[in-house]
Amino acid sequence: DTAVSQTPKYLVTQMGNDKSIKCEQNLGHDTMYWYKQDSKKFLKIMFSYNNKELIINETVPNRFSPKSPDKAHLNLHINSLELGDSAVYFCASSQDQGTLNTGELFFGEGSRLTVL
């Protein structure tokens, strides 16, 4: 069974469209994340949720809206797509270690978004 799964794996769309990427983890972890990896392979955190509550919201345009219906799912919706949104988006999860969050990240396989 895949621990962190995201769909779709590939997404090609036109500028101005709205699209969603879904993520599910079956590890029972408390915290889920969205990361963006650009064409130079740099990784940047976008959002994190802990038990459905938004914890981290980096300086991401308002066009990006995460939604966590339960602690096993974290979806990413993107409105009015722009060329610069083309990237690989990774979902990840981690388990809190007591009161500290020192758990390693478990990543999905990525969703490659191409905006034309």
Partner 1 sequence: AQSVAQPEDQVNVAEGNPLTVKCTYSVSGNPYLFWYVQYPNRGLQFLLKYITGDNLVKGSYGFEAEFNKSQTSFHLKKPSALVSDSALYFCASINTNAGKSTFGDGTTLTVKP
The residues, ordered by sequence, that sit 6+ positions from 53 with a Cβ below 8 Å of its Cβ are none
Of the pair 17, 97, the CB lying nearest partner 1 is at 97
Q: Taking Cα atoms as reference points, which of 49, 27, 46 lies closest to residue 95? A: 27
Please give the residue ranges that form the binding site for partner 1 (CB under 8 A). Answer: 4, 31, 40-45, 48, 50, 55-56, 90, 92, 94, 96, 100-102, 104-110
Provide the β-strand partners of residue 99: none
Of the pair 73, 112, the CB lying nearest partner 1 is at 112
Cβ 71 to partner 1 shortest distance, Å: 14
